[in-house]
Structure 1
Amino acid sequence: MLSDSLYALRKRLAIPQTSIQLSILGLMGGIAAALLIVLFRLTIEGIQNTFAEGGPFDDLLVYILPSLPIFAALLIAIFADLTGYKHYRLGIPFVLHRIKAHYGNIPLWNTVNQFVGGILALSSGFSVGREGPSVHIGASGASYFGRWLKLPHNSIRTLTACGIAAGISASFNTPLAAVVFVMEVVLREYKIHIFIPVMLASSAGSIITQAVFGQHIEFEYLSVFTLPVTHYPWLIILGVVLGISAYVFNTNMMRVMKTFRYVSMFPRLMLAGFLTALVGYFVPEALGDGTSAINQAMTAPTNLELLLILLASKMFLTWVAIGLGVPGGIIGPVFGLGVLIGLIVANAVLLLDPSSLYMGTYAVLGMSGLMAACLHAPLAALVAVMELTDNPASITPAIIVIASAYITSSQGLKNRSIFLQQLDFQGLMYQTPPATTVLEKIGVLAEMDTKIKVINYVTEQDVRFHLRDKKEDEFLIVAMKHDLGVDYSLTEFDTSYSRNNDKVKYIPLQTLDTQSTMAHVWELIKDQRDGATLITSTTGTKVVGIVTWEHIRTILMNRNALI
């Protein structure tokens, strides 16, 4: 009875349509992802409180704090060595690759490396964001349900997207921005049957975050006021400056990666730890995910010398950390850099309008513009800033800044998303042909023909008998057993010479299990543009259906626009 229910669930999820089953699973995956992120954040806070003033090491802080990045880098390297450096591909670029090329199936040890490494990096002051580990951990946690239930791969990809949304929402308490980020950056498409489960998972992440950490808005202290129209020309200038800054940031980030690509992981991590400790000793506000830089800048927004020092230090430390392989995200530091650039431009505006009333507004706009230009995620940047500041007054000015920053960066300077540049550098696939993109959304369970008859090969005369006896719309499959297993063939009368010819034609069949998608079938038979693929149970012990080239052709020719 349970197996029948699971089979019915799998068959329903193979269809790319909104369903209550997928919505419930997405919600469950979102809850699992959010709980993992809460554990992740609480562990970081626990470690940071241990080394804070009043903690057990209070008397030794002056000696311990400067060396924390070095010690953390050593632990990250040791743990990566123990688990195998092949499992050290982490963060958002790696998840983008797994979503596109492997339907969201993420290896366990990569996730363990991300969890442990992310905790060590964030708690020790490396200039990385927590959204990178949150995306990776959330994706892995949610997709586990799909793998455990052996759901079709197309639905596992959706559950992975749900985990990403819940992870971001649980990390920043930004449910709407999390949904937009998944659609704009991760999946790069908007489909209703995916949209609903992702929204539910994101809301679960936000609710769980509020239950544990309170209804706290990340940057609500940034005062945003409605700008007069006379400031709009300055907003365009700010956008241009942010677009140029994004180009400089992305280009130099990739330059660091390429320079050290042939250096082994251990010396790279240790160099990152040493440089972070050195710069952090003189400019401690530049350490961390960007929050400390923002806090320090907002205490003295008109101190131009301080802003420039923070900007240079923060940008250098981010290049060092991300470029040398420290496990962490890039969005947190980008927020900090955007605030600093926004405040620097605001100081120029002060020469014409001697009022500091709008300093917080320019800081917020700098945050949104730099994120849009660096990540090529304009809508996610707009929504994220609105939610992070809890102030809709920034929407219209933010649109102006984001548009000018994005156009300057992408069209004027040919700057590409930092995630896509990282994927190209690592040689990880993130694009698929149009036919594959359409077919991978549909599970074989949704399309396969179940009118099949399977017989064991005895004699050819026996095969002829079954061919004459089978129904007109039925497929006859012959199983030929041998020492290494079973080979299957689709059989039919060979009518190439004469309609009365009773010669049997055997068409070898490759097999796929019920988790497969129509894209898997396409890969097997696309070259000959003919034939079929046999579908077996997940254990491979039972034949359940067949998918022919006609099924593929129908989807691509007649239903492409509907998928």
Structure 2
Amino acid sequence: MKSWRLWLPPLRRRLALPVTSLQLCLLGLAGGLIAAALIILFRLAIMGIQAFYLEHSDDFTSLPALERVVLPFIAAVLISLLGLLIGLRHYRLGIPFVIHRIKVKYGMMPLKNTLHQFVGGITALSAGFSVGREGPSVHLGAFGASSLGSYLRLPYNSIRILAGCGIAAGISASFNTPLAAVIFVMEVVLREYRIHVFVPIMLASMAGALATRAVFGEGNDLASITMISLSNWHLPYLALCGIAMGVVATFFNKSLMKTMTIFKSWHLALRLGLAAFVTAGIGYLVPQALGAETGAIHYAVTAPAELTLLFAIFLAKIILTVTALGLGVPGGIVGPVFGIGIVMGTLLAFLPGLLIGDHSVAGTYAVLGMAGMMAATLHAPLAALMAVTELAANPELAVPAMLVITASYVTAVQFFQTKSIFLQQLDFMQLPYKLAPADDVLQKVGVLAMLQQDYQVLENPTDAQVIQALDSMPVQQPLLIKRSYAVDQHYELASYDVSMSMTGESSLKFLPVAALSHQATMAEVFAELGDQREGAVLIYDDEDAHQPLGLVLWEQVRSLLMRQNNLL
């Protein structure tokens, strides 16, 4: 055994506890660096491919019309072949799938899905489909960081936190917004705020930002936007703008889900072919709308007074995004929503621009539009506010951003009863993303944190020997019976059966004892013992299944649940 492996048992026991620890912080930092490396590789691959035919990355206006038309079809064929090669049953990608895996599989991502996301995302983004790179980034980040935990065979509760670290690092490495990445993970993906989770995720997001800055520089996709402070007279108009963004976000969400519903029975190749046809047709007419969001941002910034062009980009961007994502093109939704919001904000800035005689406020309105669309579409108001704060580097924009975000979010939620687009997609795919209250509590504690090693074992005893042992043992000490056979063995928990002692029958009770991995959480113990409400499970190290590490009793599960809001 390698010397470093000697540190693993105490490390695993420490991480089984839901508390802040230096070990978890360091692992989160390492997971963030792994995730950042994958995202940097992903981005470099896209840029390297686009360098063969584009003058500037993600700007398809310089590409001849025929090539703009052909590229989406080539990408559709390649993604379809990839789906057939890897297996269409693994074609569940992006942020909704990651949320599902976080809730039901502790954030551990299947390799085949990840390969499909990596290669398919590169192909789609290189060809100009209107999808975002944050979807693949979240998927790859969760895979990279959780793989570290799986390799070290850490408790599942800590692997889930590492997956969150990878997601934060992935978003941070994608957009160079480390604070917004942390909030996005807590608000949208994990949907909880706990200090022992927040701290390592914060470190991982920092690592992602530092890594991406080392490779791509200090700037971000919105660095070209000039933002100024707004006078208070803008606020009433901004409230109306927020309402308009809530309406557009609702239309966008419903259109996307309608597209998914209508074409769900089509084969993947046919859906991708239709997406390529629409992308090629609109890309021929409005090349500024192709790609993730950079092209739309560039033209919103450089031509804020050209209403016809901006409106064409706005409509084209919505159609292209709904078509691509609704028909199954691998990619994310956040990037295109940023682009749609920025173009919409620029359009809405035209009226105040006329009043003041110039379009200097267009950049500010563009960023506020991005925040409003993000809040209403993704149901991530706090992450949207943090994104504006980081990108604008101007605290005076916090108040107008709060107003726009509130107006758009309340409009979408209260007046149109829309859910987060991620949750709608999860419902459509019939992927569970909610936990029972008991499971939610128990999944945060690893079995190693509750391990009991003070018990006795008798091998193939008679009833008389069992009675003698029970009489001589302390009342609270468990007695295990090992039943050995020629080809198998199993354990039972022995105790007195008070209910049978008055009938003249044997007063002994033997309950079968299941075995669980040392990586399991108390939720798996509850799943084994919850129906009978008694008994115990043995905990094994996966590398040495013949030697139990200890025992976890039902009473420990009950006690843990009683301490947490009386859940049992």
Indicate whether 1:398 and 2:378 are aligned. Answer: no
Given candidates 524, 527, 536, the residue that maps to 1:523 is 527
Match of 2:216 in 1: 213
Alpha-carbon spacing, 1:341–1:484, altered in 2? closer, same or farther (3 Å): farther
Match of 2:480 in 1: 477
Counterpart of 1:23 in 2: which secondary structure? helix
Is 2:495–2:510's contact at 8 Å kept on the other side of the alignment? Answer: yes
CA distance in 1 between partners of 2:113 and 2:506 (Å)? 56
Give 1:527-538 correspondences, 5 Å limit: 527-538=531-542
Question: For residues 401-434 of structure 1, what are the alpha-carbon distances to aligned partners after superposition, in whole Å with 9 as ceiling and x for unaligned?
Answer: 0001000011111111000000000000111111
Shift of 1:275: 1.3
Match of 1:554 in 2: 559
Shift of 1:182: 0.6
Match of 1:115 in 2: 118
Match of 1:142 in 2: 145
Alpha-carbon spacing, 1:405–1:70, altered in 2? closer, same or farther (3 Å): same
Question: For residues 78-114 of structure 1, what are the alpha-carbon distances to aligned partners after superposition, in whole Å with 9 as ceiling and x for unaligned?
Answer: 0111000111100000000000011011100100000
Is 1:457–1:463's contact at 8 Å kept on the other side of the alignment? Answer: no
Give 1:46-445 correspondences, 5 Å limit: 46-53=48-55, 63-445=66-448
Q: Kindly provide the amino acid, as one letter, of the partner of residue 176 in structure 1.
A: L
Shift of 1:191: 0.4
Shift of 1:497: 4.9
Q: Kindly provide the amino acid, as one letter, of the partner of residue 541 in structure 1.
A: H
Counterpart of 1:529 in 2: which secondary structure? coil
CA distance in 1 between partners of 2:564 and 2:397 (Å)? 42
Is 1:217–1:389's contact at 8 Å kept on the other side of the alignment? Answer: no
Q: 553-562 or 13-22: which moved more?
A: 553-562
Match of 1:43 in 2: 45
Counterpart of 2:387 in 1: which secondary structure? helix
Is 1:297–1:306's contact at 8 Å kept on the other side of the alignment? Answer: no
Where do 5+ consecutive residues of structure 1 fail to align?
none
Q: Kindly provide the amino acid, as one letter, of the partner of residue 532 in structure 2.
A: Q
CA distance in 1 between partners of 2:292 and 2:487 (Å)? 56
Question: For residues 372-427 of structure 1, what are the alpha-carbon distances to aligned partners after superposition, in whole Å with 9 as ceiling and x for unaligned?
Answer: 00000001011112223333332111010000100001111111100000000000
Q: 477-486 or 174-183: which moved more?
A: 477-486
Given candidates 456, 460, 466, the residue that maps to 1:457 is 460
CA RMSD after TM alignment: 2.1
Counterpart of 2:539 in 1: which secondary structure? strand
Counterpart of 1:491 in 2: which secondary structure? strand
Counterpart of 1:489 in 2: which secondary structure? strand
Question: For residues 471-492 of structure 1, what are the alpha-carbon distances to aligned partners after superposition, in whole Å with 9 as ceiling and x for unaligned?
Answer: 4432111122346632211012
Is 2:461–2:481's contact at 8 Å kept on the other side of the alignment? Answer: no
Alpha-carbon spacing, 1:104–1:60, altered in 2? closer, same or farther (3 Å): closer
Given candidates 512, 518, 527, the residue that maps to 1:514 is 518
Where do 5+ consecutive residues of structure 2 fail to align?
none
Is 1:442–1:517's contact at 8 Å kept on the other side of the alignment? Answer: yes
CA distance in 2 between partners of 1:97 and 1:53 (Å)? 39
Is 1:218–1:388's contact at 8 Å kept on the other side of the alignment? Answer: no
Give the TM-score of the pair, scaled to structure 2: 0.94
CA distance in 2 between partners of 1:472 and 1:530 (Å)? 16
Q: 439-448 or 237-246: which moved more?
A: 439-448
Match of 1:542 in 2: 547
Question: For residues 47-77 of structure 1, what are the alpha-carbon distances to aligned partners after superposition, in whole Å with 9 as ceiling and x for unaligned?
Answer: 000112599xxx9955433211110111011
Give the TM-score of the pair, scaled to structure 1: 0.95
Shift of 1:501: 8.7
CA distance in 2 between partners of 1:410 and 1:501 (Å)? 63
CA distance in 2 between partners of 1:90 and 1:51 (Å)? 28
CA distance in 2 between partners of 1:9 and 1:32 (Å)? 20
Counterpart of 1:552 in 2: which secondary structure? helix
Q: Kindly provide the amino acid, as one letter, of the partner of residue 52 in structure 1.
A: L
CA distance in 1 between partners of 2:64 and 2:356 (Å)? 44
Counterpart of 1:96 in 2: which secondary structure? helix
CA distance in 1 between partners of 2:486 and 2:434 (Å)? 40
CA distance in 1 between partners of 2:160 and 2:16 (Å)? 11
Shift of 1:550: 1.5
CA distance in 1 between partners of 2:173 and 2:56 (Å)? 28
CA distance in 2 between partners of 1:556 and 1:132 (Å)? 36
Q: Kindly provide the amino acid, as one letter, of the partner of residue 440 in structure 1.
A: Q
Aligned residues: 559
Q: 269-278 or 90-99: which moved more?
A: 269-278
Question: For residues 316-351 of structure 1, what are the alpha-carbon distances to aligned partners after superposition, in whole Å with 9 as ceiling and x for unaligned?
Answer: 000111000000000111011101111222123345
CA distance in 1 between partners of 2:186 and 2:488 (Å)? 44
CA distance in 1 between partners of 2:508 and 2:384 (Å)? 63
Match of 1:30 in 2: 32
Is 2:455–2:477's contact at 8 Å kept on the other side of the alignment? Answer: yes
CA distance in 1 between partners of 2:295 and 2:480 (Å)? 67
Is 1:438–1:560's contact at 8 Å kept on the other side of the alignment? Answer: no
Match of 1:15 in 2: 17
Identical-pair percentage: 50
CA distance in 1 between partners of 2:486 and 2:412 (Å)? 62
Alpha-carbon spacing, 1:160–1:509, altered in 2? closer, same or farther (3 Å): same
CA distance in 1 between partners of 2:208 and 2:480 (Å)? 48
